[in-house]
Amino acid sequence: MKLILFTIACSIALGVSAKAPDDLDIESRLSSQHCIVPAKADAATLKRIHNLLASKSETETLLGRSSTYFPIFDQQLKEYKLPAELKCITLLETELSNDDVSHAGATGIWQLMSDVKQEFGLRVDNEVDERYDLYRSTEAALKDLKRMYEAYGDWELALIGYNCGVGRLAEAYRRARSKDLSRVKKYLPVETQNYISKFVAFDYLMKNYRHHGLKPRLPSMDMQVVGNVKVYSYITLQQISDITSIPYQMVKSLNPQYGEGHVPASERGANVVLPRRVANALVDFLSHPDGQPLSPMNFAPIVINEDIPALKDDPNYFATTYTVGEGETLESLAELFNCNAYNIELWNHLESTSLKAGQELNLYMPRVVPKRV
């Protein structure tokens, strides 16, 4: 303790800014953290990290909200062979709020602008706004990011271009008369100048929140283990609610792209996101619209908290303690238990995605309604 105080006193006497022990820990983690952009422990980044850590309740709610969306993003990021860190864009853009619209008109969880809508064929009209569609908006955002990375060959520039637009970035280059990003930045919008430090701060949060005593405030299991049903014929959201016994507000929350309360008929198919355990009830109804649909179990969804092991007899989900076998991975267990690797990570507060034989995990499997043959 005396040594630490002496070091700080010497730093002050020499005119050097002394760093708090917490900052030193953060800086150490940042230096060893894999990130697609330079993870610098500069003043702006440290300030943003401290703000996230200080807003404990809001940050834990945000971490919990990721359980709904990150599995969807992870799936598509793998398909496009893009870095997993890119999903952090949705944290700093909207804090995972899928009904967000910026003052500039950027819309949805990925904050898509109108040029992206036109280029990637998203439907936007009175009935449907696919900038809110979790699957189609993610696909469009990732195509846009991949295109920019291929053009610039640098993720820092790709992220900046994503935020302010390729045109503004090109104009900043022209005004700076340089391709040196440190010179170009001052000609960019203020929000864009701070974009990389925000990205690094959220990336740090997702990879290190456990070190700061944060616990995700997870939503109901039905909001965590979700899947997609492709729908080709007209159906209302209220009908979907009645068929699946899922509250209308949950159906609406997962499918905000249908502003008029119905899914229009579509030759290419429309996406309807639902708790995975009831997806077959909707599929069955669409296959037998004149018959009686299969009825999912009509119970209130459970909410995971610190007393997870006590949920073993919940009627909607099997809960079990599972002992990891030799060679098993998060991905193989996710397939076995009909969930996502990210779900398992959150349920068990895992600090590493690598599993060890003999490790015990809390796992949950939805009681899926079987399809009628």
| Domains contained in the chain, CATH given | 56-212 (1.10.530.10), 221-287 (no CATH), 308-366 (3.10.350.10)
pLDDT greater at residue 114 or residue 67: 67
pLDDT at 17: 47
Count of residues in the chain: 373
Question: Residue range 193-212: average pLDDT?
Answer: 95
pLDDT at 58: 96
Alpha-carbon distance of 128 to 109, in angstroms, equals 15
Encode pLDDT of 22-54 as tens digits: 888 999 999 998 999 999 999 999 999 999 999
> 362: part of which helix (H) or strand (E)?
strand 360-366
Structure tokens at 124: 């936007």
pLDDT at 372 over 60: no
Question: Residue range 215-221: average pLDDT?
Answer: 91
pLDDT at 294: 62
CB 52 within 8 Å of CB 201: yes
pLDDT at 302: 41
CB 202 within 8 Å of CB 92: yes
pLDDT at 298 over 60: no
Structure tokens at 38: 């330079």
Residue 137 binned pLDDT confidence (cut-offs 50, 70, 90): very high
Residue 370 binned pLDDT confidence (cut-offs 50, 70, 90): low
pLDDT exceeding 70 applies to what percent of the chain? Answer: 86
Residue 212: CB partners within 8 Å, gap ≥ 6?
53
Residue 367: CB partners within 8 Å, gap ≥ 6?
277, 297, 315, 316, 317, 318
- Of 10, 132, 138, nearest in space to 86 by CA: 138
The DSSP 8-state label assigned to residue 101 in this structure reads B
pLDDT at 57 over 50: yes
- Of 131, 70, 128, nearest in space to 96 by CA: 70
Phi, psi of 191 (to 5 degrees): -60, -40
pLDDT at 310 over 60: no
Q: Is 167 exposed, middle or buried (0-12, 13-18, 19+ CB in 10 A)?
A: exposed
- How far, rounded to the nearest angstrom, does the alpha carbon of residue 246 sit from its chain's CA centroid? 23
Question: Residue range 251-265: average pLDDT?
Answer: 96
- Of 260, 293, 292, 269, nearest in space to 279 by CA: 293
Alpha-carbon distance of 299 to 367, in angstroms, equals 12
- Of 76, 85, 1, nearest in space to 37 by CA: 85
Structure tokens at 274: 């639902």
Residue 303 binned pLDDT confidence (cut-offs 50, 70, 90): very low
Stretch among 171-180, 219-228, 273-282 having the lowest mean pLDDT: 171-180
pLDDT at 14: 40
For the chain, what is the mean pLDDT?
85
CB 195 within 8 Å of CB 203: no
Phi, psi of 36 (to 5 degrees): -75, -10
pLDDT greater at residue 251 or residue 184: 251
Q: Using DSSP, state whether 7 is helix, strand or coil.
A: helix
CB 335 within 8 Å of CB 288: no
